[in-house]
Amino acid sequence: MYDPSTHRFHHLWQAKNGMQQRHTVKTIQTLFPLLLSSLPAEALEEIVQLLRDENEFGTQYMVPTVAKSESEYNPIANTLLLWRGPIWGFTNWFIMEGLEKHGKRYCQFKAKSNSRDEVSRILTKWISMVQENGLWEHYNPETGKGYGAEGLGMSSLIVDWMARLGIVDIPKA
């Protein structure tokens, strides 16, 4: 699924006629290869660029499930097709986990910092979104408005990253 010419992973699917098709729309799955230990350096840099780009995944509140540049992007949860743009806490968690795996934490967390620290940058935006709107199942990546179930447990994964970066102390049992 890796295309060396674009340094990007693409979705593959098999059509009814048995032919394999490549789907080049940039979705959250384009970023999930961050979890691979064998990720080529060029692919890592491409993913980081996509996360930084305000026209791709670097929205006001990160990380949307479809890149803003794609025609399929829909930040409002107004359809039965949930994976068209809104942010989900657990997908943020996986993206941050992959960035951490590849050493993309350049400095300690500082609220509202403009550092190159991708993990802290995503967490800063995530914290801001939750502070402004509460815990929800998923969110609008541009306004932070929550959708779906309020207080959904998987959205509380934010606390895991807050603890990892020393923002909150979680007592040991």
Q: How far is CA 139 from CA 19, 42, 80, 91, in A?
A: 36, 30, 15, 12
Q: Is residue 173 part of a domain?
A: no
Provide the domain count of the chain: 1
Distance CA 93, CA 162 (A): 11
pLDDT in tens, the chain (173 residues): 888 887 888 877 788 898 888 778 899 999 999 999 998 888 898 999 999 999 999 999 999 999 999 999 999 988 777 778 999 999 999 999 999 888 876 445 454 444 348 888 899 999 999 999 999 999 999 999 999 999 987 889 999 989 888 888 888 77
| DSSP letters spanning 69-88 | TSTT---S--SS---SS-EE
Q: For residue 169, tell me if it sits in a domain.
A: no
d(CA 70, CA 9) in angstroms, rounded, equals: 16
The strand ranges marked E within 73-135 are: 87-88
The DSSP bridge partners found for residue 59 are: none
Determine, yes or no, domain membership for 171.
no
User: DSSP character for 145?
Assistant: -
Residue type for 125, please?
Answer: K
Residue 52 is part of a domain; what is its CATH number?
1.50.10.10
User: How far is 69 from 75, CA to CA, in rounded Å?
Assistant: 12
Q: What share of the chain is helix, strand, coil (3-state, %, to 5)?
A: 35, 15, 50
Q: Is residue 102 part of a domain?
A: yes
Full residue range of the structural domain in which residue 28 is found: 2-164
